[in-house]
Homo-oligomer: A and B are copies of this chain.
């Protein structure tokens, strides 16, 4: 006898799970996989079809997403298997707040400066505005467990974030931008450089001048691929590293 489990279909009870079936299935499988040993086989796709009463393409959508997350891997002709646990799931756009929490640290923020001024040439190019357009600039020292971690300078197009300077800037800027201004930042381009700290940055971060650090220049884009935020961050190298999973391209 086979066990049949049903994913909600939208016409169920009032609090039905309204996510697409493939997302529900993905979440469900993710939970089950956590209890399994690496390199053990998952049920076959056709088995999942009958167990969850969905079509095979829906099963494949869920499994493809899990493979993308690095949670399972597939071997043509053999099966789908639990991947070995990995340090960082993927390359996801995360806010400083989320990043620190994921590392088990308590994030904090101290605002050093907040002002409005013309963009200037470089920032204007990154944000695709003209150099005389005003931008809001926020300079913050971001801490983890109450010790300085990162020195951050954010630039936003002033016209698109009215009254930003009057809000609470102590938390996640991404959340604030989405909730208050409807700006959903879904993608970012980053350039990472290794540097030796100059006097000013070293003092603000509480380490000796010349200490190694990461310099990160980031431009974030919304769901229409418009640049909305340009940020420069300097991370203390003694407290911060980057974990990256990469895949080989097939093209």
Residues of A within 8 A of B (CB): 23, 27, 38-39, 57, 70, 73, 75, 81, 83-84, 86-88, 90-93, 184-196, 210-214, 221, 223-225, 235, 237, 241-249, 251
- B187 near A211 (CB under 8 angstroms)? no
19 further contact pairs, Cβ within 8 A, besides A23-B251, A190-B246, A194-B195: A39-B225, A57-B57, A73-B225, A75-B224, A86-B189, A92-B246, A92-B247, A93-B247, A187-B246, A189-B245, A191-B244, A192-B192, A192-B241, A192-B242, A192-B244, A194-B235, A195-B212, A210-B210, A212-B212
- A194 near B212 (CB under 8 angstroms)? yes
- A247 near B193 (CB under 8 angstroms)? no
- B248 near A92 (CB under 8 angstroms)? yes
- A185 near B246 (CB under 8 angstroms)? no
Q: How far is the CA of A37 from the CA of B141 in the complex (A)?
A: 39
- B186 near A242 (CB under 8 angstroms)? no
- A185 near B244 (CB under 8 angstroms)? no
CB neighbours of A86 from chain B (8 A): 189
Among B189, B196, B235, the residue within 8 A (CB) of A196 is B196
CB neighbours of A212 from chain B (8 A): 194-196, 212-213
Identical chains bound together, number: 2
Among B27, B190, B243, the residue within 8 A (CB) of A245 is B190
CB nearest to A184 among chain B residues: B248
A194-B210 in contact given A84-B225, A243-B189, A245-B189 (Cβ < 8 Å): no
- A70 near B187 (CB under 8 angstroms)? yes
A221, chain B: closest CB distance, angstroms: 8
- A223 near B75 (CB under 8 angstroms)? yes
Q: How far is the CA of A116 from the CA of B86 in the complex (A)?
A: 28
Q: How far is the CA of A5 from the CA of B249 in the complex (A)?
A: 27
- A242 near B185 (CB under 8 angstroms)? no
A185-B248 in contact given A87-B191, A196-B211 (Cβ < 8 Å): yes
CB neighbours of A245 from chain B (8 A): 91, 187-190
- A241 near B193 (CB under 8 angstroms)? yes
A75, chain B: closest CB distance, angstroms: 7
Among B81, B93, B190, B251, the residue within 8 A (CB) of A243 is B190
CB neighbours of A70 from chain B (8 A): 187
CB neighbours of A249 from chain B (8 A): 90, 92-93
Q: How far is the CA of A243 from the CA of B93 in the complex (A)?
A: 14
